Amino acid sequence: MTAAESSPSGRVIPWFLANARPLPWRAPGFSPWGVLVSEIMLQQTPVARVIPRLEQWLARWPSPEALAADSPAEAVRAWDSLGYPRRALNLHAAAVAISERHGGEVPSDVDALLALPGIGDYTARAVASFAFGVRAPVVDVNTRRVIARAIHGRGAAGPARTRADLADMEALLPDDAADARLMNAGLMELGQVVCDARTPRCDACPLAALCAWRAAGYPDYDGPRAPRQARFEGSDRQVRGLIMRELRHAEGPVPAEIIDGLWADAVQRERALAGLLADGLATGSRESGYELPGP
């Protein structure tokens, strides 16, 4: 085994260069704005659903300034079935801030990205690394699973621990910024397509010879687990989705009587509506009706 092959990055980077899926945001010349939009869309939404919607979004709003010039309501309408629409409001607010503070150019610095409304630690680091080549550890659920298995010998990562997770990834990053970017992307890809949560394909894994979990005989994970999300059917999320669908398709305020007819449980319906109003995803009252947020 050569010196390069004895390190995780020496194995993951060549594997990634040979096996990476040809995703739009990996194409040469893909804009930092496109990377930012893709990262927000990819939060809890499968890649296959994101790709066509990303293309539509960037065709309509090819820059932060283009989105900032439109209304938050249009951003929410365009978001449609991509998941929780609060992300659309966050993206619109970030576009406004980029236009006002950064001359319409997505900033490259992690701290400057974190200062944008609605941009969290993962998104800031991902944009800095993938759009600008900044050497910064980027950790998602797939990365954490690969590190838990290959480095720590555990079958699952357990609940997220931001500081420890970033330290684990930092320890694996090459010093070279370009290689660090490839390692960030490669470890994510490895967890997505090979080191699957349920059926890992160890025969296809570039880290198999170094994997502590494999060497230990694949012991069962007995540590703490992240809480599972409640069922969608009958949940407040379902009720919120029904209300949002009605608001997206309406040309004006939706009368309260229409909202009342969407869900029989009045207490749950009012709780869901109150949540949408508090999050800024809906405006109005029983007297005036309800609609998406305006300019």
Could you give the residue numbers annotated as active site?
Answer: 39
Nearest 10 degrees: CA dihedral of 31, 32, 33, 39? 110
Q: Comparing C-alpha atoms, which of 240, 245, 241, 269 is closest to residue 256? A: 269
Q: Tell me the backbone φ, ψ of residue 82, rounded to 5 degrees.
A: -85, 5
C-alpha distances in angstroms, 172 versus 64, 92, 126, 169?
Answer: 33, 34, 16, 5
Distances (CA, A) of 83 to 43, 49, 131, 149, 176: 8, 10, 24, 30, 36
> In this structure, what are the phi and psi dihedrals at residue 291, rounded to the nearest 5 degrees?
-155, 175
User: Which two structure tokens, joined as six digits, stand for 256?
Assistant: 């309260």
Contact 174/159 with Cβ under 8 angstroms?
A: no
Contact 245, 251 (CB under 8 A): no
Q: Report the b/e string of 230-262 with b at 16+ CB within 10 A.
A: eeeeeeebebbbebbebbbeeeebbbbeebeeb
